[in-house]
Every structure is written in structure tokens, then in C-alpha cells.
Structure 1
Amino acid sequence: MSTERRAPLDRKRVADTALKLLNEVGLEGLTLRAIAKELDVKAPALYWHFKDKQALLDEMATEMYRRMVADGEPALDTTWQERLLTSGRGLRTALLSYRDGAKVFSGSRFTGTLHAVEMERTLRLFTEAGFTLTQAVRATTTAFMYTLGFVTEEQGVEPLPGERRDGYDVDERAARMAEFPLTAAAGAEIFQGYDEGFEEGLLLVVAGIERRYGIS
């Protein structure tokens, strides 16, 4: 009989296991039953910690955020433009670390208040630069939602870096749409070169904020 003691079952252990399993099976295959099997417990044991799958997704998103900020935060003496660029790049990198990472993050509600620390710093930076609080919220949430939407579409084509779903061959698409030459050529811009495309889009967001609010 084994005398090895397992780590106690708590919210963090469940969330860590769920994130590990996420990379193997994706969000669709991530069931409470599958997580329980991975943990070698009965599925009802998970309901002591999470009332349903959405509650678990909330904790998973929170754990993703914890890991992201642990890897480094934007410098406090940066400009608002640099803060948006750094935050957007950091968020994209974090989301791409997990299969369906953007889907997990999207619509989830953070548990705890860790995220409020960085949010407070960012809003203070913006308001001190001349933004009203409303403008600061609009600017930061627009950049955030751009990043989240971009990565959602990116992972629809490349679930993990180096993978590519069937049906997204750019040359095959171009041949199929040969009678629509601009649309055919656009495939190379839409379905590959994601690093360059994200960076250009993020710069467009920043430029648009500067132009809209007149704050440089």
C-alpha cells in the first residue's frame, strides 16, 4: 500500500490541472469529469470548490493572469502609449501559451483583486496624462478587446504555435477564390504573419486613441 501523500485538493490545484489539460484537449474537451480523472478523484469532489464550469473558467483565467504578471509588469514610469503596447503584447503572449487561451479569458470574471493593482496603476497613468477617467477606460478596454479578439481569431487557425487547423491553406484558398483577386490575395494577410499583423493593429489602436482624444 502506497504511503505517498497527495497534495490537498484546493482551487489552485484544480485550476492548475485544468490549464494543463486544456493544452491537451482544448476548451471543448475540458469537462469536469476529465479534470477529476486527471486528479484521480470523483467528479462531485470538484463541486466543493466550483459550483459549475464557468466558476472554474473564472479561476483558470485568474491563474493565467497571476502567471502573466509574475513574469513581469510594465514599468511604472512609462508613457500611456508604451503601457498599451507592452500590456497588449504581454497579454497576447500569455494567451498563446494555452490552447483556446483567449476563449477561456473572454467573458471570465477574475476572482480576488490582484488585477485591480495593475488596473489602478494604468488608470492613474492615463488620467495624469490628461485623459478623463471615462476616456482612460475606453482607451484601455479598446486595446484589451482588440488583443482578445485578435488572439481568438488567431487560435482559430493556429490553436498553439506551430499547429495549423485543416482548411486554412492560403494557396488553396487563393485558388478557390481566383475570380475574386483582391479577396484571394487578402488570405495571405489574414491567415498568416500573425506577429506582424498584431503589431500593426495595436499601433493603429494607439494612433486612433491619440487622434480621437488629442493626447500624445
Structure 2
Amino acid sequence: MKVNPELIVRAGLTLLNEIGLEQLTLRRLAMDLNIQAPTLYWHFKSKEQLIDAMATLILAEGVPALLPRKKSADWRSWATTFGHGLRQILLHYRDGARVVAGSRLTDTTYMEATERIGTRLIEAGFSTRNAVVLLSTVYTFTVSFVLEEQAVFPTRGQRSPAYNLAERNARLDPEKFPLMRQSATILFDRFDQRYKESLKLILGGAAETRIP
């Protein structure tokens, strides 16, 4: 079987969804591809290199989700679409946020999209610095949000036993931790709702820095 880097990366993403990032190794991927490990090492010298390539493909193929359909949309729509689109891209893959977090991109496809978004923010009255800070804030918040979300739901729709809300609250004294007991469903359930609320708060603060 003749392999190339793209085929390896796509196979890596398929395997990622099956077994998760911890169990993903170059040797296991070589077995799935029915090739010898040295053949795989010829293209990727380490798991880190493979993850960089996987993260690059995840973001590059998700670019359409980062941009609003109407290019005339206001700055809030551009920023909101970027955040919601990024979250859905990461959730599409098991451990997607862990793969992308801290990875070094190997091409500029994703950056071409953020260049367009940043330019639109500047046109809407943000300084270059504030446009970059806003985009990076939405990015880092979204990645960290999905990291937590995928810890609670490693497989979409299937809650980890470690996040049993009833057991969590049973360990908390209701007189000492009334707020923490009420926070359980807010923090570890209904992630869609909390993400929307959180992003709205971020954009509300960003609006204060915009020059009309």
C-alpha cells in the first residue's frame, strides 16, 4: 500500500475518534494502515509531528464554519461565527481540543480565515491590537471550554462516570456549599447554553473597546 502524509493524517483522525489521543501511537497507526512502522516514521518522525499535521487538517477543513455566510454581517456576527464554528470543529473529533491546543500549524489555510476575520474587526472600528486580542481571547476560551466539555463527555452524548452530578452534590455539605451544589448543572451540563452566554459576555466587553 502506497502511503503519503495526507493519507496518514486522515487515518490518524479516524483512529483518534476510535481510541482517543492517549492510545494513539505511530505504531498503532501503522498497524491500522497495514504498513511497517519505519514507513510511517519516514513521513512523521514523532507523534508530535503527526498531531501538528492532524490539528492543521482539522482547522483547515473547518474554515467554512468559521466565516459568516453573509460577508456584509456586522462584527459581532463575524466574531460569534468564529467562536461557534471553532467549537463545532473541535467537537467533531474525540479529544479535538487536546489535539489542537498548542499545536504548530503546517500550512496557512486557517490563518487566511483569521486574517479575514481580523480585517473585518478593524474595519468595524477595532484597533489592530484589540482585534488580535479579541480573536485570541475567543480562540483560547473556546479551546479551553471544549477541553472541559470533552472531559465531561469524552464521546459526544456519553457522560464520563467521573462527572456524575448526583454523586458530586452528595459529597458537598448543602449548608457550606449551597452555590457549588447549584452550579453543577451550569458547569457540567447544557454546554451549548453556557458557551453562548460566555461568548456574549466576551463580546460585550469587546464592544467597549471599539471606536464607532
Q: TM-score range by the shorter chain?
A: over 0.9
Alignment of 1:8-23 (within 5 A): 8-23=2-17
Give 1:208's aligned residue.
205
Give 2:119's aligned residue.
124
8 A contact 2:65–2:85 mirrored in 1: no
Q: Tell whether 2:27 aligns with 1:30.
A: no
Q: Tell whether 2:129 aligns with 1:134.
A: yes
Q: Distance in 2 between matches of 1:177 and 1:198?
A: 26
Give 2:101's aligned residue.
106
Match of 1:150 among 103, 126, 145: 145
How far off is 1:67 after superposition? 2.0
How far off is 1:51 after superposition? 2.0
Secondary structure of the residue aligned to 1:46 is helix
Instruction: Give the partner amino acid of 1:196.
Output: Q
CA RMSD of aligned residues (A): 1.5
Q: Distance in 2 between matches of 1:134 and 1:150?
A: 24
Q: Distance in 2 between matches of 1:126 and 1:178?
A: 47
Match of 1:173 among 168, 175, 193: 168
Residue correspondences, number = 209
User: 1:86-124: CA deviations, max 9, x gaps?
Assistant: 111111111111110000010111111212321221121
Secondary structure of the residue aligned to 1:111 is coil
Distance 1:72-1:153 versus aligned 2 partners, 3 A rule:
closer
Q: Relative to structure 2, which stretch is displaced further, 175-184 or 52-61?
A: 175-184
Q: Relative to structure 2, which stretch is displaced further, 44-53 or 32-41?
A: 44-53
Q: Distance in 1 between matches of 2:115 and 2:186?
A: 36
Q: Distance in 2 between matches of 1:170 and 1:52?
A: 39
Q: Tell whether 2:39 aligns with 1:42.
A: no
Instruction: Give the partner amino acid of 1:43.
Output: A
Q: Tell whether 2:75 aligns with 1:80.
A: yes
Instruction: Give the partner amino acid of 1:151.
Output: V
Normalising by structure 2, report the TM-score.
0.93
Instruction: Give the partner amino acid of 2:165.
Output: V
User: 1:101-158: CA deviations, max 9, x gaps?
Assistant: 0000101111112123212211211111121211110011001111111000000110
Flag structure 1 segments of 5+ consecutive residues without an equivalent. Answer: 1-5
Q: Relative to structure 2, which stretch is displaced further, 176-185 or 157-166?
A: 176-185
Instruction: Give the partner amino acid of 2:21.
Output: L
Q: Distance in 2 between matches of 1:91 and 1:115?
A: 11
Give the ranges of 4+ consecutive aligned residues of structure 1 lying more than 3 Å apart after TM superposition.
70-73
Q: Distance in 1 between matches of 2:146 and 2:136?
A: 15
Q: Distance in 2 between matches of 1:73 and 1:45?
A: 38
Q: Distance in 2 between matches of 1:182 and 1:195?
A: 21
Match of 2:60 among 59, 66, 73: 66
Instruction: Give the partner amino acid of 2:178.
Output: P
Normalising by structure 1, report the TM-score.
0.91
How far off is 1:70 after superposition? 4.8
How far off is 1:34 after superposition? 0.7
**Percent identity of equivalent pairs:** 40
8 A contact 1:50–1:56 mirrored in 2: yes
